[in-house]
Amino acid sequence: MGQLTRPRASIDLDALARNYHLLADRAGGRLPAGVVKADGYGLGAVPVARRLLSEGCSQFFVARLDEGLRLRSALATAVTAPEIYVLDGAQPGTEDELAAAGLVPILNDVGQIQRWQEAAMARGHTLPGALHFDTGMTRLGIPAVEADILSADPARLNGIAVELVMRHLASADEPGAEQSVEQLGRFRRLRARFRQGRASLANSAGTFLGPEYHLDLIRPGIALYGGAPLPGLSINPVESVVTVEVPVLQVQDVGADVPIGYGATYRTERATRVATIAAGYADGYHRAATLAKPAELGEPPTRTVAIGGRSVPVLGRISMDLIAVDVGGLRRDEVQPGTAVELLGPTCSLDQVAAANGTIANEVLTSLGQRYQRRYQGDPSTG
């Protein structure tokens, strides 16, 4: 049985690299961008980006200005500086920082475009930017009326070197969704009016909708990190990248009808052994999914962790730092303080864990928190 002194997240950058090339093959051999927002979906934006860079990736997407600034300085010694796109765009007052760090804002409205143009004029040279059109999410992006204003007056883009024209799919993870077909059609019509730079539409799921969605650049996130790009695939085409393990802290023999955890929402059905393990909702193991539900909503989904490759059920409510699991089915010598418990990995797949938590793989990863010791396999900077 594996032993551990502290919670650990092992990140296999070789698997990440294989996923990257699998996605490139899907996109007809064109190298994808790497989406590394939210600290590389919780796995570490810098080691992830360094490895992707060494695989030939030259474009990265982050959400926030600060994510972009950190990535730019971490990659400062790269032989060729990658393009770093900031999805939040050029928010008022951030233009100087964006320009100084050579970040590319994804321009989301005519106000941003105008301020970015003014920043270029003030510097006396063009600045790179991307145009993001909103065609169906009403989230971020240039609305249709503003697209009309821009195409009626192309001078509004003077001084901006448009590297990319993009939009985002709203329903890519529902194959056959009419919304995707409609969004593709609307994007093509926009592209006919804005022909500068490369065109980009697909996230991970969009990559699997068909070649017509690939355009010049795909922008996968979750599929790089091992999440199934589409639900309901019988085989997940990408490899698992992260294994999360925590130690057992204590093992207790308990009788029947003994309450476990806050609120005594669970009582043992029979005498068993209970192991308390070093993880909780502060480590991304959501409490909400184990709250007792009204009877008409049915039983909450059973959540399991694994010891030595065997699944064991989680008991009662999740605490901030602790989870109780039923280890009555394992031998006494198999579960001791320090025994490694898998929360995510070969036995507890990312997509199964997401389903048991009532969420998606993206949220499982971005919720992992800061209390795991991260170990990287295949980090080019450490050899």
Ligand X SMILES: *Cc1c(COP(=O)(O)O)cnc(C)c1O
**Site membership for ligand X, residue 241 (CB under 6 A):** no
CA dihedral 13, 14, 16, 19 (to 10 degrees): 180
C-beta of 222 vs 324, nearer to ligand X = 222
φ and ψ at residue 133, rounded to 5 degrees: -95, 135
Nearest alpha-carbon partner for 375 in 243, 279, 254: 243
Q: How far apart (Å, rounded) are the C-alpha atoms in residues 30 and 300?
A: 44
Using rule CB under 6 A, residue 240 touches ligand X: no
Q: In this chain, which residue has its C-beta nearest to ligand X?
A: 221
The answer to whether 112 contacts ligand X (rule: CB under 6 A) is no
- Number of continuous H segments (helices) and E segments (strands) in the chain: 11, 17
- Backbone angle region of 325, left / alpha / beta, with phi > 0 → left and psi within -120 to 50 → alpha: beta
Stretch that binds ligand X, among 43-51, 190-198, 215-223, 255-263 (CB under 6 A): 215-223
DSSP string, 235-267: S-SSPP-EEEEEEEEEEEEE-TT-EESGGG-EE
CB nearer to ligand X: give 53 or 106.
Answer: 106
Binding ligand X by CB under 6 A: which of 47, 220, 280, 345? 220
Contact in structure between 95 and 123 (CB atoms under 8 Å): no
Using the minimum distance from each CB to ligand X, give the nearer residue, 140 or 249. 140
Tell whether residue 290 is a contact of ligand X (CB under 6 A).
no
Closest CA to 206 of 197, 195, 217: 217
Neighbour tally for 346: CB within 10 Å: 10
Please say whether the beta carbons of 217 and 59 come within 8 A.
yes
**317 part of the interface to ligand X, by CB under 6 A:** no
- Minimum distance of ligand X from residue 35's CB (angstroms): 4
Q: Does the annotation mark 293 as catalytic?
A: no
Catalytic residue among 37, 281, 372, 376: 37
Q: Is 35 in the site for ligand X (CB under 6 A)?
A: yes
Min. distance of Cβ 140 from ligand X in angstroms? 8
Site for ligand X in 189-208 (CB under 6 A): 203-205
Residue 262 known to be catalytic: yes
Residue 221 binds ligand X (CB under 6 A): yes
Given the residues 41, 225, 262, 285, select the one marked as catalytic: 262
- Active-site residue list: 37, 262
| Binding-site ranges for ligand X (CB under 6 A) | 35, 37, 87, 168, 203-205, 219-223, 362
